A and B are shown apart, each in its own frame.
Chain A
Amino acid sequence: GQSLEQPSEVTAVEGAIVQINCTYQTSGFYGLSWYQQHDGGAPTFLSYNALDGLEETGRFSSFLSRSDSYGYLLLQELQMKDSASYFCAVTGGSARQLTFGSGTQLTVLP
């Protein structure tokens, strides 16, 4: 099966940089995704890494190390609107099923 670990909470101030780590265990790994979910809202896709290295999309970057079964989401120039839950999700297993972590609640303080 698949399992993921990520911190439950992170707090940072506006304008700062924050990194949310994710470690995973899976069979048949295909890729690591990140989703954002605001309170009461639906998850929205942020990024996907299939290969080792850093993917940058605006203020958000995502990193993957397959040998370490590890990835992170880096958020720069934090804004109040970035306060949300962030989920890592791994695609793996024989059915290429997407399995989500339990989420990291990011609070951005003024």
Chain B
Amino acid sequence: GAGVSQSPSNKVTEKGKDVELRCDPISGHTALYWYRQSLGQGLEFLIYFQGNSAPDKSGLPSDRFSAERTGGSVSTLTIQRTQQEDSAVYLCASSLVAGGVDEQYFGPGTRLTVT
């Protein structure tokens, strides 16, 4: 079946502009996660959604970052007034349940470059 998809695959934007990154999780997966990965670094947790519960936003680095998940499926990560330090690969993952007990399936990521 289809895996996690993300769009766009690459995004180049000017400093100060807003960007939206999209994630389509695997159908039926109730948990959805966003991570950020800088070059040669590990994955930095940003936010996760579990069903209809309030999202865990504890990893969002600033109030310029926000995310929503509509209808318990598609999610959008929005970065406002982008800065050069926002340049990274943004990865989305989904799993059947939250908490890491079930494996997370990752999308291919969106490579964001802020010039």
Contact = CB atoms under 8 A, between A and B. Distances in A.
Interface stretch (A13-21, A72-80, A96-104): A96-104
Interface residues of A, number: 22
Contacts of A99: 45
A42 B43 CA distance: 11
Contacts, number: 62
Interface size class of B (residues with CB under 8 A): 20 to 34
Contact of B101 (A44, A91, A100, A101): A91
Interface stretch (B12-20, B64-72, B76-84, B106-114): B106-114
Contacts of B99: 30, 91, 96, 98
Contact of B91 (A33, A43, A91): A43
B43 A50 contact: no
A45 B45 CA distance: 16
B106 A98 contact: no
Interface of B: 33, 35, 41-45, 48, 56, 58-59, 91, 93, 98-101, 103-109
Interface of A: 30-31, 33, 41-45, 48, 50, 87, 89, 91, 95-103
10 contacts: A30-B99, A31-B100, A31-B101, A45-B104, A48-B103, A91-B99, A97-B59, A102-B41, A102-B42, A103-B42
